[in-house]
Amino acid sequence: MSSSFSLYIHIPWCWSKCPYCDFNAYAISTHQPDFEHYTLQLIADLKRSQRHAPFLTELTSIYLGGGTPSLMPPYLLEKLFNTIRELYYWHTQLEVTMEISPKTQASYLSDVMRLGVNRFSVGLQSFHPDVLKILGREHHAGESHAIIDSLIQVGSDNFNIDLIYGLAAQSPEMVVEDLRLGLSAPIEHLSWYELMLEPNTQFAKKPELKTDQDTLEQMEEEGMILIEESGFKHYEVSAYYKNRPSQHNSHYWKYGDYIGIGAGAHSKITLKPKQTLRLYKTRYPKDYLKSPKVLVDSIADEAIDYLMNRLRLFTPITFHEIESCLPNQAADHIIKWVNQLESDQLLIVNKESFLLTKRGQLLINDLLYQFQQWRQRIIKQV
């Protein structure tokens, strides 16, 4: 059993709530943050988590996500990092990522780099003022450019930018121009993702904001050509890297263990071979600040969860891997399902493994649906 794990730290506040966002994030104007108190709760949360899973000793990455973690004052981050260092070995190569707003100042970047942050992920989305406006972003196009200059200025050599496509207000040319500008910067990693109209967001009620299928496909086709020409490797549904993939996200996609601290954060802990404990924390920051609770997530469907994560990573999945990390029944279902499939446009099926085709990479949800349908039939027959 592995002792390695990654640590996720959730900071739930943002400058404002973007109308397309379904993350556990709250505008600072309406949900006054109390970073001092929140840091104390994060520390208590981390200590509790360590007691719950003392066998997880090998910290492989840290990720500060949100929300907008760059709203957190550096002196509080230092307190939190000190506690992490007391509890775990923080080796020199440890990947420590912080999501940042394009409004972040160079001095802030330097401060957190001194504390140990060595990778940034910028929620840039676009260089076009109109697109940023529709997305309800707080930053303006000038700041999309300025943050890249700041990252270069402070000597960050490992950063990601997020770019979005699929808005009706974007033409394929605008999407390609965003990519061209982003890829011409010394980025190490790109998250290029399609706008989704998530339920319970303001955008869910405005389907007209999404572009039509033909234009979407044109955006994808032209965008992919440019990304490949720029030497980036496509290794996950929306992720591309030059030399260094995200260790933290790869750990999730490989179905590794993780501890999540902060409002609404989830943990996955392997208690013994094939037995996983899933926990989540109180979702609302106000409640988390009052009395954070650790809740057991008992409804997780291991087979679906595994496929949802693992299919995202475009490497062969062996039966041995499935058997070694899933409970018997979940592993059995996946292997039996794969065995009755034949290689087609979506999958390449081998004797002891399977792999998504290029087309399959675009249609993961269809495959998951097929698996669910097949499994329901099998369960009914038993």
Give residues in contact with ligand SF4 (CB under 6 A).
14, 17-18, 21, 23, 25, 66-68, 123
Nearer residue to ligand SF4 within complex by CB, 21 or 269? 21
Nearer residue to ligand SF4 within complex by CB, 13 or 314? 13
Nearer residue to ligand SF4 within complex by CB, 116 or 136? 136
Six-digit token string for 222: 């032209």
Q: How far apart are CA 196 and CA 165, in angstroms?
A: 10
Nearer residue to ligand SF4 within complex by CB, 25 or 72? 25
Per-residue HEC secondary structure of 286-328 comes to HHHHHCCCEEECCCCCHHHHHHHHHCCECCCEEHHHHHHHCCH
Q: How far apart are CA 220 and CA 139, in angstroms?
A: 25
User: Minimum distance from CB of 23 to ligand SF4 (Å)?
Assistant: 5
The set of residues, in sequence order, having a beta carbon less than 8 Å from that of 265 and lying 6+ positions away, is 8, 9, 10, 280, 281
User: Minimum distance from CB of 342 to ligand SF4 (Å)?
Assistant: 41
Six-digit token string for 111: 């401060």
Cα distances (Å, whole numbers) of residue 174 to 36, 121, 151, 218: 42, 22, 24, 12
Q: How far apart are CA 272 and CA 167, in angstroms?
A: 45
User: Minimum distance from CB of 126 to ligand SF4 (Å)?
Assistant: 13
Nearer residue to ligand SF4 within complex by CB, 238 or 315? 238
Nearer residue to ligand SF4 within complex by CB, 101 or 270? 101
User: Minimum distance from CB of 104 to ligand SF4 (Å)?
Assistant: 12
User: Minimum distance from CB of 331 to ligand SF4 (Å)?
Assistant: 35
User: Minimum distance from CB of 25 to ligand SF4 (Å)?
Assistant: 4
Strand-pairing partners, residue 24, are none
Nearer residue to ligand SF4 within complex by CB, 66 or 182? 66
- Kindly report each contact of residues 299-307 with a partner whose C-beta sits within 8 Å and lies 24 or more positions away, as own/partner: 300/276, 301/330, 302/276, 302/326, 302/327, 302/330, 303/330, 303/331, 303/333, 303/334, 303/371, 303/375, 304/368, 304/371, 304/372, 306/255, 306/330, 306/334, 307/334, 307/367, 307/368, 307/371
User: Minimum distance from CB of 186 to ligand SF4 (Å)?
Assistant: 23
**DSSP H helices in the chain:** 35-52, 74-87, 106-115, 129-134, 141-153, 172-183, 213-229, 247-253, 285-290, 302-310, 319-325, 328-339, 358-362, 364-381
User: Minimum distance from CB of 168 to ligand SF4 (Å)?
Assistant: 19
Nearer residue to ligand SF4 within complex by CB, 90 or 280? 280
User: Minimum distance from CB of 18 to ligand SF4 (Å)?
Assistant: 3
Q: How far apart are CA 285 and CA 13, in angstroms?
A: 9
Nearer residue to ligand SF4 within complex by CB, 25 or 112? 25
